[in-house]
């Protein structure tokens, strides 16, 4: 029997801390079974013990590592970094660095998680200044992975290709799609469209050598259409596209809720249509897609939304388990090496930007 | 009595041509009255006459200028430009250049409209390579103007500030908001976030001298929230944000339609709630916000969506009339001049990029 996959958890992160983190473990085991997985919870022992008891989770599946402090949600990343060892966030990541855990999940402060992950684990993608974040979008054809939605503000062609490499391996590991199609986000589908970085990245992806299933340029509306499995863009555009989409979805949901409660007649109609509306809501349930891995690090780090509920945190755990059990790290490592050859810059292959 | 405002129309543009263009005139006059407005229709005389007759529109309000040819929707802008005078698109724009018309509306080929407008009218904004396009978004608080959603791919700080100047004057002229608030689209609200162009544009807007009501940075989800009246961004990000939002809205609409027709029970509920759902639909009706002006030209050009219906085209006409009757051109001219001083580059004040 193989050793169980150990997932390190920042039990104090997010808006809710231990109740959602432990609830997430319960949700994960209920959906996927607890076989072959163990959890290492970093945080306030007393609070964690109380939550584990509520959910009948025992030391068979959960270990606790007490930490007296945590990183606040509004704490500056630099401050959190300077505090060093001892916060639940820091110690949770360190369990990956030491090789004890196969992945870490945190719903904590994104900036601090990025900075401390980078400090402890170091970047594996030579072109990246900081980790890329993947968002999973519900689409007409399933789920599309969009990256970077984090903050690699100015992405050159090499970075965009690195995103493609990591996005492909992520999609295969987590969504089970072999050879997912990859599109580069642009303002048109013609070859001469867009700025130089995008056109140069397209050239590298088109000419192959990386074995990726490159589809071509895609436009903003192709994301929700599910035209491709993986949409690659710079961290500025990706972040704005993601937040714009979230804003639009929230706006329409609010209008719908208001409409369906605007009169007695509307309420009656809504009550009758409720099973269908609920089924629809599940297709765009944020909990079902929660969990954005930070890619480009020497180790697997998954960010849960700070406001996620137990179901959402459970999904972030699922993504961490899938990545930890897959050959994601090896595939990415091999392809990043190949990219070094393609870029005719072999000296950058083993360079670690820190 | 002042001379009527003359609006030049490309009667052959868009997916539907004269039926929608003439239907748009009828829609406009029905909503806003025909007082003080006349239309100059460029295109196939016979087809236009037939449509005018259907809608009981007479030569009191509509003049026809026959053209034998039109620009195809898939025609390359360069080809359309080389054909020169004689297409309905070209001649419609020329009526603005000659001073005969106060504005032109076309639902035709966007690339050709941009290129020919620039060729005939020339840019008035010295920093712009090509016209900026404004999109009007329905939001929780009304309508927000977002620009550029066109294709000024790499926008420097000066261009972003020009967008702010033009967006402000547009919003005042068309949405009647005095001193609209202006936000710069970014990946966070802190001063140090985002790339250099955005931070430099923020500095210029913050330091004032242009008399704009600058709010600060906004994020993607602030668009649908209606946090500010005018959202300024580069043409790459703006185009992707707009199309992403359209894609998400369409996806959710499709899911809703599918849900409400998925069973007999759902259909009954939907039928009962229909008045409320229709009222909701009107709040996000694309026809109600159709019409994106091309800004930065020496003249007013409004692009209607190619697939717009008569109501949508009527709204594009309304925007053209509002702009033509306002002091939009003067306000923008004065502020662009002031920007020249602010940028410490007085030599560019009268420079015309063509």
pLDDT tens for each residue of A228-284: 999 999 999 999 999 999 999 999 999 999 999 999 999 999 999 999 999 998 888
- Does A50 lie at the interface with B, CB-CB under 8 angstroms? no
Answer yes or no: is A161 within a domain: no
Confidence at residue B127, expressed as pLDDT on a 0 to 100 scale: 78
For the beta sheet containing A62-66, the strands, ordered from the edge strand earlier in sequence to the opposite edge, are: A62-66, A37-43, A5-10, A103-106, A301-303, A292-295, A132-139, A142-147, A230-232, A181-185, A213-218
Answer yes or no: is B274 within a domain: no
pLDDT tens string B18-65: 999 999 999 999 999 888 999 999 999 999 999 999 999 988 899 999
- Does B260 lie at the interface with A, CB-CB under 8 angstroms? yes
For the beta sheet containing B142-147, the strands, ordered from the edge strand earlier in sequence to the opposite edge, are: B62-66, B37-43, B5-10, B103-106, B301-303, B292-295, B132-139, B142-147, B230-232, B181-185, B213-218
- Whether residues B344 and B223 share a domain: the answer is no
Q: Show residues of chain B in contact with A265, CB under 8 Å.
A: 272-273, 275-276
Confidence at residue B130, expressed as pLDDT on a 0 to 100 scale: 86
The enclosing domain of A62 has a CATH number of 3.40.718.10
d(CA B92, CA B103): 9
Q: Show residues of chain B in contact with A247, CB under 8 Å.
A: 220-225, 245
The better pLDDT of the pair B80, A128 is held by B80
What is the DSSP pairing of strand A103-106 with strand A301-303?
parallel
The first and second tokens of residue B196, run together, are 């250099």
Residue A119 buriedness (CB in 10 A; 0-12 / 13-18 / 19+)? middle
Q: Show residues of chain B in contact with A114, CB under 8 Å.
A: none
Among the partner residues B222, B225, B244, nearest to A245 by beta-carbon distance: B244
Answer yes or no: is B165 within a domain: yes
d(CA B305, CA B110): 9
Q: Which residue has the tokens 């995103």?
A: A163
- Whether residues B19 and B108 share a domain: the answer is yes
Confidence at residue B350, expressed as pLDDT on a 0 to 100 scale: 40
Mean pLDDT of chain A: 90
Among the partner residues B246, B250, B269, nearest to A270 by beta-carbon distance: B269
d(CA A328, CA A337): 14
Reduced to 3 states, what is the DSSP secondary structure of residue B123? strand
Pick from A217, A170, A115: nearest CA to A319? A170
Q: Show residues of chain A in contact with B250, CB under 8 Å.
A: 221, 224
From B260, B276, B304, the end of a domain falls on B260
| H or E, element range at A237 | helix A235-260
d(CA A195, CA A202): 11
Cβ distance of B255 and A220 shorter than 8 Å: no
Peptide bond into B14 cis (omega under 30): no
By CA distance, what is B192's nearest residue in A? A153
Answer yes or no: is A37 within a domain: yes
- Whether residues B101 and B209 share a domain: the answer is no
Q: Show residues of chain B in contact with A195, CB under 8 Å.
A: 153-154, 236
pLDDT tens string A169-216: 999 999 989 999 999 999 877 776 778 899 999 999 998 778 899 999
- Whether residues B124 and B191 share a domain: the answer is no
Instruction: Name the phi and psi angles at A214, rounded to 5.
Output: -85, 125
Beta-bridge mates of residue B40: B8, B63
- Does B139 lie at the interface with A, CB-CB under 8 angstroms? yes
Cβ distance of A246 and B221 shorter than 8 Å: yes
A235-260 and B235-260 helices, crossing angle to 10°:
30
Q: Show residues of chain A in contact with B231, CB under 8 Å.
A: none
- Whether residues B70 and B141 share a domain: the answer is no
What is the DSSP pairing of strand A37-43 with strand A62-66?
parallel
d(CA B331, CA B171): 12
Confidence at residue A233, expressed as pLDDT on a 0 to 100 scale: 96
The enclosing domain of B18 has a CATH number of 3.40.50
- Whether residues B229 and B163 share a domain: the answer is yes
DSSP B177: -
- Whether residues B90 and B188 share a domain: the answer is no
Q: Show residues of chain B in contact with A185, CB under 8 Å.
A: 240
CB count within 10 Å of CB B226 equals 19
Cβ distance of A275 and B266 shorter than 8 Å: yes
Interface test with A, best of B155, B160, B224 (most A CBs within 10 A): B224
By CA distance, what is B259's nearest residue in A? A276
Kindly list the distances between the CA atom of residue A151 and the CA atoms of A238, A305, B187, in Å, as whole numbers in the listed order. 9, 16, 8
Kindly list the distances between the CA atom of residue A128 and the CA atoms of A118, A119, A240, in Å, as whole numbers in the listed order. 11, 14, 19
Confidence at residue A148, expressed as pLDDT on a 0 to 100 scale: 93
Cβ distance of A259 and B242 shorter than 8 Å: no
- Cβ-Cβ pairs closer than 8 A, A with B, add up to 190
Residue B177 buriedness (CB in 10 A; 0-12 / 13-18 / 19+)? middle
Interface test with B, best of A138, A144, A244 (most B CBs within 10 A): A244
- Does A266 lie at the interface with B, CB-CB under 8 angstroms? yes
d(CA A84, CA A179): 40
- Does A334 lie at the interface with B, CB-CB under 8 angstroms? no
Cβ distance of A187 and B252 shorter than 8 Å: no
d(CA B110, CA B89): 11
Beta-bridge mates of residue B294: B133, B301
Kindly list the distances between the CA atom of residue B162 and the CA atoms of A125, B125, B131, B166, in Å, as whole numbers in the listed order. 38, 7, 11, 6
CB A210 within 8 A of CB A338: yes
Among the partner residues A151, A250, A262, nearest to B224 by beta-carbon distance: A250
pLDDT beyond 70 at A346: no
Answer yes or no: is B279 within a domain: no
- Whether residues B98 and B72 share a domain: the answer is yes
pLDDT tens string B134-156: 999 999 888 999 999 987 777 88
Answer yes or no: is B283 within a domain: no
What's the structural domain count of chain A? Answer: 1
- CA dihedral angle for residue B201, residue B207, residue B208, residue B213, rounded to 10 degrees: 70
- Whether residues B207 and B109 share a domain: the answer is no
Report the percent of chain A where pLDDT is more than 90: 75
Confidence at residue B153, expressed as pLDDT on a 0 to 100 scale: 78
Q: Which domain holds residue B11?
A: 1-131+289-354
Pick from A292, A279, A286: nearest CA to A308? A286
Chain A: give the shortest CA distance to residue B265, in Å: 6
d(CA A204, CA A55): 51
B76's CB contacts (< 8 A; 6+ apart) are B111
pLDDT confidence band for A295 (50 / 70 / 90)? very high
- pLDDT tens, per residue, chain B with 354 residues: 578 899 999 999 999 999 999 999 999 999 998 889 999 999 999 999 999 999 999 888 999 999 999 999 889 999 999 999 999 999 999 999 999 999 999 999 999 999 999 999 999 887 788 899 999 999 988 899 999 998 777 788 989 999 999 999 999 999 989 999 999 999 877 776 778 899 999 999 998 788 899 999 999 999 999 999 999 999 999 999 999 999 999 999 999 999 999 999 999 999 999 999 999 988 888 888 899 999 999 999 999 999 999 999 999 999 999 999 998 988 888 888 888 777 754 444 343 333
**Quick one: average pLDDT of A217-224?**
95
- Does B266 lie at the interface with A, CB-CB under 8 angstroms? yes
- Does B280 lie at the interface with A, CB-CB under 8 angstroms? yes
The first and second tokens of residue A339, run together, are 């990219």
Q: Which residue has the tokens 């007649």?
A: A265
Answer yes or no: is B141 within a domain: yes
Contacts of A62-68 spanning 24+ positions with Cβ under 8 A: A62/A22, A62/A25, A62/A38, A63/A38, A63/A39, A65/A40, A65/A41, A65/A91, A65/A95, A67/A12, A67/A42, A67/A43, A67/A91, A68/A44
| H or E, element range at A184 | strand A181-185
| H or E, element range at B241 | helix B235-260
Interface test with A, best of B234, B247, B274 (most A CBs within 10 A): B247
d(CA B285, CA B289): 7
Answer yes or no: is A12 within a domain: yes
Hey, which residues 205-234 in chain A have their CB within 8 Å of chain B? 219-225, 233
Interface test with A, best of B154, B234, B273, B278 (most A CBs within 10 A): B273
Cβ distance of B240 and A276 shorter than 8 Å: no
Q: Show residues of chain B in contact with A140, CB under 8 Å.
A: 251, 254
What is the DSSP pairing of strand B62-66 with strand B37-43?
parallel
Chain A: give the shortest CA distance to residue B136, in Å: 14
d(CA B217, CA B194): 10
From B241, B260, B279, the end of a domain falls on B260
Q: Show residues of chain B in contact with A221, CB under 8 Å.
A: 243-244, 246-247, 250
Cβ distance of A255 and B284 shorter than 8 Å: yes
Cβ distance of B224 and A244 shorter than 8 Å: yes
- Whether residues B146 and B234 share a domain: the answer is yes
| H or E, element range at A277 | helix A264-283
Cβ distance of A247 and B220 shorter than 8 Å: yes
Instruction: Name the phi and psi angles at B352, rounded to 5.
Output: -115, 115
Cβ distance of B276 and A265 shorter than 8 Å: yes
* DSSP H helices in B261-327: 264-283, 310-325
- Whether residues B166 and B255 share a domain: the answer is yes
Confidence at residue B340, expressed as pLDDT on a 0 to 100 scale: 78
- Whether residues B184 and B231 share a domain: the answer is yes
Reduced to 3 states, what is the DSSP secondary structure of residue A326? coil
């Amino acid at each position: 029997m193989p050793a169980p996959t150990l997932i390190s958890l920042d039990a104090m992160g997010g808006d809710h801390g231990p109740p959602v983190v432990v609830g997430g473990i319960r949700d994960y085991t209920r959906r996927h079974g607890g076989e072959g997985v163990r959890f290492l919870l970093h945080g306030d022992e007393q609070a964690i013990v109380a939550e584990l008891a509520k959910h009948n989770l025992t030391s068979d599946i959960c270990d606790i590592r007490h930490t007296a402090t945590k990183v606040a949600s509004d704490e500056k990343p630099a401050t959190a970094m300077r505090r060093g060892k001892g916060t639940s966030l820091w110690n949770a990541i360190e369990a990956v660095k030491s090789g004890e855990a196969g992945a870490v999940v945190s719903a904590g402060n994104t900036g601090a998680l990025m900075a401390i992950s980078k400090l402890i684990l170091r970047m594996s993608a030579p072109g990246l200044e900081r980790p890329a974040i993947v968002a999973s979008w519900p689409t007409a054809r399933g789920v599309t992975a969009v990256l970077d939605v984090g903050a690699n503000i100015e992405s050159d062609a090499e970075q965009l290709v690195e995103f493609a490499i990591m996005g492909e391996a992520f999609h295969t590991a987590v969504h089970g799609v072999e050879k997912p199609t990859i599109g580069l986000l642009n303002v048109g589908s013609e070859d001469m469209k867009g700025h130089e970085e995008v056109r140069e990245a397209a050239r590298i992806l088109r000419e192959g050598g990386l074995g990726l299933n490159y589809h071509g340029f895609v436009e903003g509306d192709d994301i929700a259409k599910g035209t491709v499995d993986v949409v690659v863009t710079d961290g500025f555009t990706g972040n704005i596209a993601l937040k714009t989409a979230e804003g639009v979805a929230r706006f329409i949901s609010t209008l719908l809720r208001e409409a369906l409660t605007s009169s007695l007649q509307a309420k009656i109609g809504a009550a009758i249509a409720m099973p269908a509306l609920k089924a629809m809501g599940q297709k765009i349930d944020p909990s079902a897609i929660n969990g954005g891995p930070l890619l480009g690090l020497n180790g697997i780090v998954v960010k849960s939304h700070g406001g996620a509920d137990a179901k959402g945190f459970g999904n972030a755990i699922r993504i961490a388990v899938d990545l930890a059990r897959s050959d994601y790290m090896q595939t990415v490592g091999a392809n990043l090496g190949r990219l070094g050859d393609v870029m005719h810059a072999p000296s950058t292959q083993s360079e670690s930007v820190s």
